[in-house]
Structure 1
Amino acid sequence: MSQFIESIKIEDQELFLLEYHQKRVDQTFTHFGKEGSIDLEKIFKKLEHDEDGLYKFKIIYDLDKRVRTQMIPYAIPEILDFQLVENNSFDYSFKFEDRKELEKMKMKSRAGEIIIVKNNHITDTSFSNLLFLKGKDWYTPKTYLLNGVQRQYLLKKKKIKEADITLQNIKEYSHFQLINAMNDFDDMFIYSIDKINNLPEKSIYKN
């Protein structure tokens, strides 16, 4: 049976974006025709986690409501470079625990992290959604693989906008940053677009 995963930010014993995580879990059960769900807050409270600091709270579950948990101290990863990787068939619309295809793409690349391209459109990295800077505004690709909780939250708060970001127009953006449940919007922690080591030449692609 398929297993799914939620990774929740815990800082000083506080759960972040819990409403968004719970909604995604509930939608997963509904999509696969299962009644009920699991209660993430109850699972957290049973752990009696009383440590301050930043943690990743991982909940691995299946549709029979079997649950495993991990509480892992967290530090934001430092990534030196990125590579565009094309995969037109990859689907990650639900947060499956199985990441073999993602790891395979990463292993074939020649960079610290990959940016997955699907039908000429920019999607996500192997572990996060993306934001791109144009002028003073931040944009996230409409063509995400997984509609992450941080992405949903920032769109709702109108801190970011959606855009069609493609191989043809990616050079119109000057910088980018990675967001997920653990990595908040932070315009001090950004990468120059030149950190992508295989940016396309415009002449290669037809509009």
Structure 2
Amino acid sequence: MSQFIESIKVEDKEIFLLEQHQKRVNDTFANFGKDEAINLENIFKNLEHDEDGLYKLKITYDLTGNVRTQMIPYAISEISDFKLVENNSYDYSFKFEDRKELEKMMILSKASEIIIVKNNHITDTSFSNLLFKKGKDWFTPNTYLLNGVQRQHLLKSKKIKEAEITLQNLNEYSHFQIINAMNDFDDMFIYPLERIKNLPSRPDAIEL
């Protein structure tokens, strides 16, 4: 049976974006014909977590209600280099625990992190959504693989906008950053576009 995961930010005993995480869990159960989803708030309360600091609460579950939890101390770190990787068939509509295809792409890339290109469009990294800066504004690709909770939150609060971002117009952006449940919209880790190792200098000179 398929296993799914939720990685939830917990800082100083406070849980973040719980409503968005619960909706994703509910949608996952509903998509596979199950009526009663697991309750993330109850799971967190039953952990009786009383430590200050930043943690990732990793919840692994299946559609029968089996749950496994891990509370992992978390530190955000800088990524040294990125590489564009083409995969036109990869699908990650639900947050599956199985990441074999992502791990394979990572190994073949020989980079610290990958940016997956699907049908000529920028999607996500192996573990996050992306934001790209043009002028003073930040945009997220409308061709995401997974509509992450942080992405939804930032769009709803109008801090970012959606855009069609392709290999051909990528050079119109100056900087980028990664976002996920653990990584908020943050000026600390903004990368220049040149951090992408195989960034095409011209649309007709793309080498993935």
Normalised to the residue count of structure 1, the TM-score between the two structures is 0.98
Shift in Å, 1:78? 2.0
Shift in Å, 1:205? 6.3
Distance 2:38 2:205 in 1: 46
Q: How does 1:106-145 map to 2 (within 5 A)?
A: 106-145=106-145
Tell whether the 8 Å contact from 1:60 to 1:69 is kept in structure 2 after alignment: yes
- Residue 201 of structure 1 corresponds to which residue in structure 2? 201
Shift in Å, 1:201? 3.0
Tell whether the 8 Å contact from 1:139 to 1:160 is kept in structure 2 after alignment: yes
Which letter maps to 2:68? R
| SS of residue in 2 equivalent to 1:158 | coil
- Residue 165 of structure 2 corresponds to which residue in structure 1? 165
Deviant stretches of 4+, over 2 Å: none
Tell whether the 8 Å contact from 1:168 to 1:205 is kept in structure 2 after alignment: no
User: Any gaps of 5 or more consecutive residues in structure 1?
Assistant: none
Distance 1:128 1:203 in 2: 25
Aligned CA-pair RMSD:
1.1
- Residue 37 of structure 1 corresponds to which residue in structure 2? 37
Distance 2:6 2:17 in 1: 11
User: Any gaps of 5 or more consecutive residues in structure 2?
Assistant: none
Which letter maps to 1:6? E
- Render the CA deviation track for 1:104-136: whole Å, top value 9, x for unaligned: 000001211000000000000000000000000
- Residue 148 of structure 1 corresponds to which residue in structure 2? 148
Q: How does 1:10-89 map to 2 (within 5 A)?
A: 10-89=10-89
Q: How does 1:90-109 map to 2 (within 5 A)?
A: 90-109=90-109
- Residue 7 of structure 1 corresponds to which residue in structure 2? 7
Which letter maps to 1:121? H
Distance 2:146 2:4 in 1: 13
- Render the CA deviation track for 1:35-70: whole Å, top value 9, x for unaligned: 110000100111110000000000000000100000
Percent identical among aligned pairs is 77
- Render the CA deviation track for 1:66-86: whole Å, top value 9, x for unaligned: 000000000013210000000
